[in-house]
Amino acid sequence: MSQAAQLAQGLAALSLQLPAGAESRLLDYLELLQKWNKVYNLTAIREADQMVSRHLLDSLSVLAHISGKRIIDIGSGAGLPGIALAIARPEASVCLLEVNHKKATFLQQAITELGLRNANVVANRVEEFRPATNFDVVISRAFADLSEYVALAGHLCTHDGVIVAMKGLHPFEELSQLPANVVDKKVIRLEVPGLAAERHLVLMTLRAS
C-alpha cells in the first residue's frame, strides 16, 4: 500500500477531515524527513512504510482531544507532533521548541519548504524559554517523565490551558508521582491505525499560580 493510501485510510479510521492540501503536505514532510535522516539522526524510524503510522497518524491521533489557538511542542525533535499538528490545524499557531541545533535547523527548513506560515522554531532549553504569551496547549512526545515535564514546562501553559504528554504504556507510576500543583489529570487510550503498540494521552491542568 502506498503512503498516500495508508494515510488516507488512517485518517478515515480516526474520523479526521483535514484541510485541502494537508495530506499531500504531510507526505512531503515525510519525504523531507527521510532525506535529512540520511545525514542527521532525526528519527530511529527509517522504514517508509512505518513512518505514516508511527509518525503521522500517531501525532494526528491527539487532535480530537486538544483545542486552542496556541500550541507548543516541547523537545520537538524531527517535528513530531508539532509539524503534523501545524499542517492539520492551519488556524493554530504552533511553536516548535528544540535545543539541538541540527534538529532545529531541520525544523526551520521543513517550515520553509512546506510553507507553514503558522509554525515557528525556538532553539532554546524549555526551562529557559520565556515567551511573551503563554500557550493553550503544551505537548510533548517522549520528552521526560511526567513530574519532570510539568516542572520544566509548566510555566509555558496558560492558567486555563492543558499540558499534554504522549505516552506508550499507561504511566501508572509516573501519575502517582505528579507534583501537588497538578489539580486535574486525565488519561486517554489512543487507537492509532496501523500501530499495534499501546498509546496513551495524558492531559494535565495546573493550579493557577
pLDDT by residue (tens digit) across 150-193?
999 999 999 999 999 999 999 999 999 999 999 999 999 999 99
Contact between 65 and 98 under an 8 Å Cβ cutoff? The reply is no
Domain containing residue 109: CATH number = 3.40.50.150
What are the tens digits of pLDDT across the range 111-120? Answer: 999 999 999 9
Question: What predicted TM-score, i.e. pTM, was given to this entire model?
Answer: 0.96
Dist CA 97 CA 61 (whole Å): 21
Query: If we measure between CA atoms, which residue out of 96, 85, 1, 101 comes closest to residue 42?
Result: 101
Per-residue pLDDT, averaged over 116-130, amounts to: 97
Assign 183 to helix, strand or coil.
Answer: strand
If you average pLDDT over every residue of the chain, what do you get? Answer: 94
Q: How many domains does the chain have?
A: 1
Residue 167's domain comprises: 3-206
